[in-house]
Amino acid sequence: MPLQSDQTITLDKATLFAYAYIRHHGNGTQAAMEVFDVSGGKNPRNTAHAIASCYLRKVTVQTVLHGYLLQQNESMLSALRFLRETIEDKSAPFADRMKCVEVAYRLAGIEVSESLSIALGVARIRAGKTTFPATQDRSCMDMFK
């Protein structure tokens, strides 16, 4: 049923905390300071930290966080599938394929060595000036031996 113009959606504090926790990149203290009024105590940061610790154990908060992580995981898998398909597509421009290799390395958390980074850059420059035939089957590393 759609909402009427005079209706509002109210979220409980646990759900608000969960979204604030995501916005603050996992900083529970900051999330608690945003959602709860902790200004009245002696040490607001300690109070916010205690609230965050308590709220992170709540099922509502864990459910929201779990849903968010699943969504992020699906987005990452989709991006990796796109990169793999582009890398394997022999008809894709060579420069695009090399850029996808570089991005895939970075997404996997693999530090791209300076020599590989230079090699990928040279390949992109060369690909911009020269067209590599789609039938030419070379791996990325074979290009720079």
Domain segments of the chain: what residues? 13-64, 89-144
Question: Taking the model in full, what pTM does it have?
Answer: 0.56
pLDDT-based confidence at 119, cuts 50/70/90?
A: low
Q: Give residue 59's pLDDT.
A: 92
Residues in Cβ contact with 73 at an 8 Å cutoff, skipping those fewer than 6 apart: none
Task: Return d(Cα 104, Cα 106) in angstroms, integer.
Answer: 5
Report pLDDT digits (tens) over 32-79: 999 999 888 789 999 999 999 999 999 999 999 999 999 988 988 888
Mean pLDDT over 86-92 rounds to 88
Q: How far is CA 24 from the centre of its chain?
A: 14
The DSSP secondary-structure symbol of 73 reads: H
Q: Are 101 and 121 in contact (CB under 8 A)?
A: no
Q: What is the pLDDT of residues 99-110, one digit of tens each?
A: 888 888 877 777
Q: How far apart are CA 106 and CA 30, in angstroms?
A: 29
pLDDT in tens, 27-40: 999 999 999 998 88
Please, where are the H alpha helices in 24-141?
A: 28-35, 44-55, 59-88, 94-107, 114-129
Listed residue (25, 15, 28, 20) closest to 62, CA to CA: 15
